[in-house]
Amino acid sequence: MHAIRIGRHGGPEVLTWTALPEPAPAPGQALVWLGVAGVNFMDVGARKGGAPGWAAPTVLGVEGMGYVSALGDGVEDLAVGDRVAWFYHPGSYAELLAVPADTLVKVPDDVTDETAAAVMMQGLTANHFTTETYAIGPGDTALVHAAAGGVGLMLTQMVKARGGRVIGLVSREEKAAAAAEAGADHVLVSSGAGFEDRVRELTGGEGAHVVYDGGGSATFRSSQLSLRLHGVHAYYGPFMGVPSIPVTDLPNSILLTYPTVQHHVPSREALVTRTSEVFRMVRNGQVSPRIGGRYPLADAAQAHTDLESRRTTGKLLLLP
């Protein structure tokens, strides 16, 4: 079998299509043929060397869906042939994977392979952001960074499904239409800071209830200045830079949080419950992932190049 491996950290050129021995499922694991792998900024950070736990050499990728081809001892709730998906398994850019069975969820029959792969990491992230991070309610205003990206489009749809209002930020004018199509009530074009005054205008001078900020250090302060009293700054851009700020500089008694999707699914029971919620929203038409690009698995370097260019919209997928 083949996988996308890095021998050292660096640019997209370090991604190599490599022949590796086929894995065998250990006790508690399932052997899965890859159907679709998702591409995430986490993968870019791992490739560059900015993500802890990703020492080279290694196989990249964390998210995908596939088909169970064999089971290790002790696995009882899966069967050969099952369609399964996962949101985090290091080494997912591979044709064949041995995955802990308790990290896999069954894909409903009426959810396509591509949709299942596209909503695992980003769908669970958006679900976390709109429930436990800040429970969106009717009339709440959310400022969504990178509103035409994979997470941003999911967030916009989930905020709207819960009765909220969305102000979307996009980096280029040509991305505004995608954010609007996902349901954003207003779309602002901004590639850096300085958007807080416009956000306040759109909220009657009060500011947003919550900012979902994946923009990194450049947007950190403007995000905080866009919030109303006791608003929530949900910062999830560590690979874009982690700013340092004295606690006493936080404006408007805001709440600052760094939500991590693993905390949304800390147990097998939570994983099944939360993915069921996301799949239900897909089946009800409340969430529909936009596929921004499909690439052969062997061309993962091109997918990384396109993702880093900021010219893509939606979710990028790798197909074996």
- Taking the chain (320 residues) in consecutive chunks of 10 residues, what is each chunk's mean pLDDT? 97 98 97 97 90 91 98 96 97 98 97 97 97 98 94 96 97 93 96 92 98 88 96 82 78 93 96 97 95 96 93 90
Structural domains in the chain, CATH included, are: 2-107+290-319 (3.90.180.10), 122-262 (3.40.50.720)
Distance from C-alpha of 170 to C-alpha of 88, rounded to nearest angstrom: 27
Distance from C-alpha of 317 to C-alpha of 21, rounded to nearest angstrom: 24
Three-state secondary-structure class, residue 143 = strand
* Nearest by Cα to 94 from 195, 210, 200, 4: 4
The amino acid that residue 295 corresponds to is Y
Three-state secondary-structure class, residue 58 = strand
Q: For residue 179, what are the CA distances in angstroms to 140, 174, 183, 251, 258?
A: 18, 10, 7, 28, 24
* Nearest by Cα to 97 from 305, 306, 317, 297: 297
Three-state secondary-structure class, residue 298 = helix
Residue showing tokens 């044709």: 95
Residue 95 tokens, joined: 């044709």
Distance from C-alpha of 244 to C-alpha of 250, rounded to nearest angstrom: 11
* pLDDT of 149: 87
Decide if 293 contacts 316 (C-beta within 8 A).
Answer: yes
Distance from C-alpha of 150 to C-alpha of 293, rounded to nearest angstrom: 11
* pLDDT of 314: 84
Which helix H or strand E contains 67, and what residues bound it? strand 63-71
The residues near 119 (Cβ < 8 Å, ≥ 6 apart) are 154, 278, 279, 282, 287, 289
Q: pTM of the prediction?
A: 0.92
Pairing of strands 2-6, 165-170: unpaired
Distance from C-alpha of 150 to C-alpha of 22, rounded to nearest angstrom: 31
The amino acid that residue 15 corresponds to is L
* pLDDT of 98: 98
